[in-house]
């Protein structure tokens, strides 16, 4: 796909017989998997830039600062008040979903720790490891005492 930056700063599709491009971005097929796995920083590694690197950097900086104003686009379809209400409802729904996930996660964790002891809390694990370490040290000291007593007896 070939794009042209217009005088107004917008992108438009370039004509078929357009001149040599100033910047060429070659996007590898693995860019989408990299983006899903590691975000934008991982995906950028799979994009090859050739041509005017300064222009590519300027476009990249601008693209990184762009944010979609869904409420603005929605207001063109249903009007400002309704778009505002829809966006508020969407935010409330998102918050509700996050709260539900947090509550379910906490409940499952509590169940696995207290009701059906499958997991232990970090503090209990650390305490248990300390007790085992202390017990091991005590056993080693007793073994040394026994060795000394046996040496004296012989």
**pLDDT tens, per residue, the chain with 154 residues:** 677 777 887 777 877 766 777 777 788 888 888 888 887 778 878 878 788 878 878 877 876 777 778 898 899 999 999 999 999 999 999 999 999 999 999 999 888 888 888 888 888 899 999 999 999 999 999 999 999 999 988 7
CA dihedral for 114, 120, 121, 127, sign (positive or negative): positive
Place of tokens 């964790």: 109
- Spans of all domains in the chain: 3-65, 69-119, 120-154
Helices (H), the chain: 31-44, 53-65, 70-78, 80-110, 122-153
DSSP annotation of 111 reads I
pTM for the whole structure = 0.42
Tokens matching residue 15: 């004509």
- Per-residue pLDDT at 120: 82
């Amino acid at each position: 796909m070939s794009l042209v930056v217009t005088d107004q700063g917008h992108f438009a599709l370039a004509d078929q017989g357009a001149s040599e491009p100033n910047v060429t971005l070659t996007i590898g097929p693995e860019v989408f998997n990299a983006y899903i796995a590691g975000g934008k920083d991982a995906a950028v590694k799979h994009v090859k830039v050739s041509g005017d690197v300064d222009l590519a950097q300027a476009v990249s900086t601008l693209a990184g600062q762009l944010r979609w104003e869904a409420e603005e686009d929605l207001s063109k379809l249903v009007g400002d008040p309704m778009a505002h209400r829809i966006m508020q409802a969407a935010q409330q729904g998102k918050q509700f979903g996050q709260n539900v996930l947090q509550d379910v996660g906490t409940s499952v964790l509590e169940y696995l720790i207290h009701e059906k002891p499958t997991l232990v809390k970090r503090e209990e694990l650390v305490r248990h490891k300390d007790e085992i370490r202390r017990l091991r040290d005590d056993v080693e000291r007793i073994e040394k005492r026994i060795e000394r007593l046996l040496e004296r007896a012989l």
